[in-house]
Amino acid sequence: MKRDAIGKILVQQDDLQHRVGELAQEISNDYKGEEVFLVAILKGAMFFIADLMRQLQIPAQVDFMSVASYGAATGSSGVVRILKDLDSSIEDRRVLIVEDIVDSGLTVNYLLRSLQARNPASLDVCTLLNKIERRQVELPMRYVGFEIPNKFVIGYGLDLDQYYRQLPYIAELKDQEK
Ligand code: PRP
């Protein structure tokens, strides 16, 4: 496996698993007696959704969306293109968007608007990582795993040019300037 870009470990494997368990518990308590419809955003959320969902104690369904920004960076326009949409309706469902990271917030902002228009019973956001320093829009974030500094991070689903997603921990890129 490529290793040359792996810098300081930001969240160790054990801490990730522990926190994901806590989030699953919190969600299970909040949705007690109800069902949740998880909308995982590809590809970064793949390990998070798998670990989170396996620890939920409430009935849950999952579907996936894949989105891409127009232009080089999401931040350039804030306009997001849907590459893969949900397979089914979310009308009257309690929907939870599951993200690996919220950065500028433009992706989630778009998803919230797009999914709200489909009339879910409720719509909330769960992100493993929150890079609040980079936020460009104010967002309601119901569940946050970790607040992280403004550093490029890889692992546990997060990539550098599509590599490093398989790391079981979250690491900074090597040699990042402060
Ligand atoms: C990442 C992440 C969010 C988005 C966050 O996805 O999964 O969807 O960027 O950025 P924002 O808050 O600035 O909009 P990415 O486009 O890297 O795709 P990937 O998950 O397939 O790696």
pLDDT in the model for residue 109: 96
Does 161 qualify as catalytic in the annotation?
A: no
In this structure, what token pair is assigned to residue 99?
Answer: 């993200």
Would the CB of 44 count as within 6 Å of ligand 1?
Answer: yes
Instruction: Please give the distance, rounded to the nearest whole angstrom, from the Cα atom of residue 8 to the centre of ligand 1.
Output: 21
Taking only the tens place, the pLDDT of each residue in 99-146 is 999 999 999 999 999 999 999 999 999 999 999 999 999 999 999 999
Q: Indicate which atom in ligand 1 lies nearest the CA of residue 99.
A: 7
**Residue 76 CB: number of other CB atoms within 10 A?**
12
Q: Indicate which atom in ligand 1 lies nearest the CA of residue 103.
A: 12
Q: Where residue 74 falls among pLDDT bands split at 50, 70, 90? A: very low
Q: Which of 32-35's residues contact partners 24+ apart within 8 Å by CB, and which partners?
A: 32/58, 34/58, 34/94, 35/59, 35/60, 35/61, 35/93, 35/94
Amino acid in position 162: Q
Q: Which of 85, 103, 159, 161 is catalytic?
A: 103
pTM: 0.94
Beta carbons of 70 and 82 less than 8 angstroms apart: no
Specify whether the backbone of 157 is left (phi greater than 0), alpha (psi in -120 to 50) or beta. left
Specify whether the backbone of 73 is left (phi greater than 0), alpha (psi in -120 to 50) or beta. beta
pLDDT in the model for residue 141: 96
pLDDT in the model for residue 170: 98
Instruction: Please give the distance, rounded to the nearest whole angstrom, from the Cα atom of residue 33 to the centre of ligand 1.
Output: 32
Q: Where residue 82 falls among pLDDT bands split at 50, 70, 90? A: very high
